C-alpha cells in the first residue's frame, strides 16, 4: 500500500526528469571543459544516448541507480507495489542490454556512468576515468588509422652510451 495519495504520487513522479539531470550536467561540463565535444540525446541512435562523442565513436549513458537497478544502496527495490516495480525495473535492464547490443553491432562503444559514481566523494576519480577512456579510444583509433609501429621509435641517431669496461 502506498503511503501517499494517488494525486501526490502523480505530482512527485511528474517532476522526475529524464534529460539535463544533475549527474548528466556534471559529466557534460567536465567533458566540455576538457576539450571533448559531443552531442546530446541523439535520436537517430538506439536508446537516444545521453552523450554522443562522434569523433570517438562512443556513447555515454548516465544511469540513475534506482531506474536501472544498480547494485548499490540507491538501487534497492521499493517496499510497496513490489510486483509492479520488479517488472518495470527488470524491463529497463533488458532494454538497456538490447540498446547496448544494437550500438555495438553498429560499431559504437558504450560507457555507462552510474549516478552513485558522481557523488562528491568519488566524482573526480570517475571523471578522470572517463577522460582516460576517451584518450585510450583516441590512441587506439590513431594507431589503426596511421599504422603506428609496435616498437618505440629511436629519436637520437647516436648509440646508447656504454658504461664500465668495454
Structural domain contains residue 164: no
Name the residue among 35, 57, 72 with its Cα closest to residue 111: 57
pLDDT band at 14 (very low <50, low <70, confident <90, very high): low
CA distances from 39 to 2, 45, 58, 66, 154 (A): 39, 12, 11, 25, 40
> What does the DSSP 8-state code read for residue 112?
E
42: domain CATH number is 3.40.960.10
Q: pLDDT digit string (tens) for 104-117? A: 999 999 999 999 99
Q: 58: burial class by Cβ within 10 Å (0-12, 13-18, 19+)?
A: buried
Better pLDDT: 71 or 8: 71
Total domains in the chain come to 1
Better pLDDT: 51 or 152: 51
pTM: 0.78
Domain that holds residue 71: 6-142
Better pLDDT: 3 or 65: 65
Structural domain contains residue 165: no
Structural domain contains residue 159: no
Q: pLDDT digit string (tens) for 61-110? A: 999 998 898 888 888 888 888 899 899 999 999 999 999 999 999 999 99
Q: 103: burial class by Cβ within 10 Å (0-12, 13-18, 19+)?
A: buried
Structural domain contains residue 160: no
Phi, then psi, of 66 in degrees rounded to 5: -70, -50
- What the block records as the C-alpha cell of 44 is 537517430
Structural domain contains residue 148: no
In this structure, is the dihedral angle defined by the CA atoms of residues 138, 141, 146 and 149, taken in order, positive or negative? positive
Question: Looking at residue 155, what is its pLDDT?
Answer: 58
Structural domain contains residue 149: no
Structural domain contains residue 70: yes
Structural domain contains residue 17: yes
Amino acid at each position: 500500500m502506498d503511503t501517499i495519495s494517488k494525486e501526490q504520487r502523480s505530482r512527485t513522479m511528474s517532476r522526475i526528469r529524464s534529460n539535463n539531470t544533475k549527474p548528466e550536467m556534471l559529466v557534460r561540463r567536465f567533458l566540455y571543459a576538457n576539450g571533448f565535444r559531443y552531442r546530446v540525446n541523439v535520436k537517430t541512435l538506439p536508446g537516444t544516448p545521453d552523450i554522443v562523442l562522434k569523433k570517438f565513436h562512443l556513447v555515454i549513458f548516465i544511469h540513475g541507480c534506482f531506474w536501472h537497478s544498480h547494485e548499490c544502496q540507491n538501487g534497492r527495490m521499493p517496499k510497496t507495489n513490489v510486483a509492479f516495480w520488479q517488472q518495470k525495473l527488470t524491463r529497463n535492464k533488458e532494454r538497456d542490454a538490447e540498446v547496448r547490443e544494437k550500438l555495438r553491432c553498429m560499431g559504437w562503444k558504450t560507457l555507462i556512468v552510474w549516478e552513485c559514481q558522481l557523488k562528491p566523494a568519488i566524482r573526480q576519480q570517475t571523471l578522470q576515468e572517463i577522460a582516460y577512456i576517451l584518450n585510450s579510444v583516441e590512441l587506439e583509433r590513431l594507431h589503426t588509422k596511421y599504422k603506428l609501429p609496435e616498437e618505440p621509435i629511436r629519436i637520437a641517431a647516436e648509440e646508447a652510451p656504454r658504461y664500465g669496461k668495454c
